[in-house]
Amino acid sequence: MILCLIIAILNVILVSAESEPVEVHEWGVVIFGEYEPAVTAVPGFVLPPVITDPAFSIMPPSVEAPVIFFHGEEFSGDFVVEVFNANIFDIYPVDGVRSTHDSIRWSDIRVFNPGEGTEYPDIFPAHCCMSDELARSWRTLECNSVRTSGGINEGFLYYECFLENQEFVEYPKLLAAGGGLPEGVDKILIFMRPSDDYQEMYLVDPASLFIPAEIEEIGVYDKAWMLEILFSWNTVGLYPDEIELLWETWEAYVTSPVWEGDALVVFPLPRDMINKISSLEVLPDGEMEIMYRRFFLGMMPVLWAWN
């Protein structure tokens, strides 16, 4: 009887292991205005609240550091990224990749639990926009590793692209009208350009987003508070360590700051807009359950034109 019980337990464990899905987790940021403020906001109740900067259409929104991690079941096969109304300008790793301006295919990869002793490249391709420091920080996440068809191990996949979708070009107008946010999100963040190492951070109603005269809540940037807000926005099931790594990647950009303008608006993108950026597809050798969890932030520099 004891033997039967042991066999039954083992069968449950085996079934559980066999039914574990492949989980694909992705996070990234859409920058609205890389070198110039994306929009000019005109405070007041008579003038329109938002005027789209003419230069915004010249330098389109960019999808930066979308980083892909794998969890769950190991597998072998292909992994495909397709972007929509966009142009890919950076890919890593490039070993074994087939790509065009709007698609990437990592062929014959193996996704596996790395364990101890798994070695990663010390040198990164010179063309990559990501820094060595960022790549090494992304490797700290506890997840599966990817082995390319050429035998190179890495802890993540990565790409970047410019968006030509008119819906993204007009996103400031959508936000100003109180739209463009996930269901259940009723506040977004504004970071003021810091002075004397003092960083103001506001949590505001989207409807008053571009009217600074109506911002009443005064706050000071606090990393713990920032992470708490990001955790509340993460309704897709990314792990807390992934959200923390996302913010570690972008904290300096937001608080240094690197952006131009008077303020930086930070907000989560809704799922339907994320799906208009790109699609991800695991093509495993065999039938497997695949789950995709994707979380993107929007970052929009704003210039306030006071009357």
Q: What is the mean pLDDT of each run of 10 residues along the chain (307 residues)?
A: 46 51 97 75 48 53 95 97 94 88 95 86 79 92 94 94 89 79 89 78 74 60 93 96 97 88 91 96 96 96 69
What values do phi and psi take at 5, rounded to 5?
-65, -40
Q: Residue 254 and residue 28: Cα distance in Å, rounded? A: 14
Which tokens sit at 279?
């699609």
Which two three-digit tokens encode residue 249?
């990647």
**DSSP character string of 12-48:** HHHHHHHTPPEEEEEEEEEES-SSS-SEEE--SSSS-
Choose among 276, 105, 106, 89: nearest CA to 180: 276
Write down the pTM of the prediction: 0.87
Q: What per-residue confidence (pLDDT) applies to 42?
A: 59
Element holding 198 (H helix, E strand)? none
H helical segments located in the chain: 2-18, 132-138, 166-169, 171-176, 223-233, 240-255, 271-274
Dihedral sign, CA of 38, 42, 43, 45?
negative
pLDDT of residue 19: 64
Q: Phi first, then psi: what are they for 168, rounded to 5°?
A: -75, -35
* Other beta carbons within 10 Å of 289: 12
Question: How many CB atoms are closer than 10 A to CB 172?
Answer: 28
Residue 93: the pLDDT is 92
pLDDT of residue 306: 55
